[in-house]
Amino acid sequence: MNDLQHVRTLAGELRENLAKCAGDPDVDPVHDSRTGTRRLQATIESLVREMPERGCGAAVREAGAAMIRMLKRIRRAAGPVRDLDVHRKLLSKLTKRAVNPEKARKHPGDEAVPDAVAAGPALETPRAGRRVTPLAQQADELDAWLKRRRESLAQELKAKAAVTLPKFDKRVAALQAALRSRGLRRRKAKPPAVMALERFARLATEMQALHAGNLHDFRKGAKKARYVAELAASGDGEAGRVGETLKKLQDEIGDWHDWLVLADEAHTAGGAGAIELIALIEAERDRHFAAAIQMAGKLRGRLMGEWLAVNQVKGGQLRAGQLRSGQLKGGQRGTGRRRTGQRKSAQAKGDSRGAGQQRGAQRG
């Protein structure tokens, strides 16, 4: 699939989901609209980097910049709606664990809700015609607050999507016209796996000590690197493995951030009347923060080791089967491996200090 076909495919999928949001911003089209903007943006950014500075390359840069600005506006409208869908799902899982801890626990690391909190004195709720614990009542009230906020933001997204559709078509047409320009020549592109590792290496260098203040930005940078890896054609095992590692890192940090924001929402919606629920949510937040910091340190060391291995190959190109040989799990032997070990040791100390400092800040 060439560049024009790839852009056309991604833009077509995004437009379809955007049209669905204009009619009924349900869970799936909202989610697909947000991820679709990121994938298309990563593709455009990759194309722009490979274009010459002048001539037809300038036309692609201009059209690409206009398209990216629109993608960001779409993402700003869809993002908060998607976040609320995720938070309602997290709250539902937490409530189920409180009602039946053993049945709800699917993974060894899942913690049961304390009996004193889960049981509690039963309260009458005439509206529902049932008896619930204070925790369950607090969860119901928070869910109702999240639902109302979701409905309000979804209506805004619905209106913006309807207005954006014709403008979106014009932006896509302009970008496609620029890509079809006669005489356009691209610079020789690096393999997607190499580009993804380079982007991650820049990110890891900029954020050497991770903490609650920069962990979410680190995740967003890793997500962009992952989308670059996914630009590879199907069957590219090297890019696939890099992408999978980045997704694992992205998901772990994303879990923590979802609990972090849900805790803030619980404070806003419930305040002093939701003490039990807030305590449980904050416990989940802290547990996922520790897991995210640990995972980030582990996978950052692995990816940086692979980046060092790639840079030891002449011209920065991957040899056939290089990642397949197991370097993603251990790096090259000799000097590269020792350097990777030294980086891991230094990063582990910095991550530990950052986690200790930021946990107190989170509870404040």
> Is residue 183 predicted with pLDDT exceeding 70?
no
What's residue 218's pLDDT? 96
pTM of the model: 0.76
What DSSP character marks residue 314?
G
pLDDT band at 5 (very low <50, low <70, confident <90, very high): confident
What DSSP character marks residue 231?
T
Helix, strand, or coil here: 361? helix
pLDDT band at 271 (very low <50, low <70, confident <90, very high): confident
Instruction: Report the alpha-carbon distance of residue 160 to residue 74 in Å, rounded.
Output: 8
Tokens read off for 189:
């592109």
Instruction: Report the alpha-carbon distance of residue 333 to residue 275 in Å, rounded.
Output: 53
For residue 92, the tally of other CB atoms under 10 A from its CB is 12
> Is residue 124 predicted with pLDDT exceeding 50?
no
Question: Residue type for 204, please?
Answer: A
Average pLDDT over residues 77-106: 84
User: Which one, of 280, 170, 191, lies nearest residue 235 by Cα?
Assistant: 191
Name the β-bridge partners of 125: 130
Encode pLDDT of 299-347 as tens digits: 999 999 999 988 876 444 444 344 444 444 433 333 344 444 444 444 4
User: Which one, of 197, 198, 205, 203, lies nearest residue 219 by Cα?
Assistant: 203
Compute CA distances 44 → 48, 198, 240, whole Å: 6, 17, 20
Instruction: Report the alpha-carbon distance of residue 50 to residue 44 in Å, rounded.
Output: 10
Average pLDDT over the chain, rounded to an integer: 80
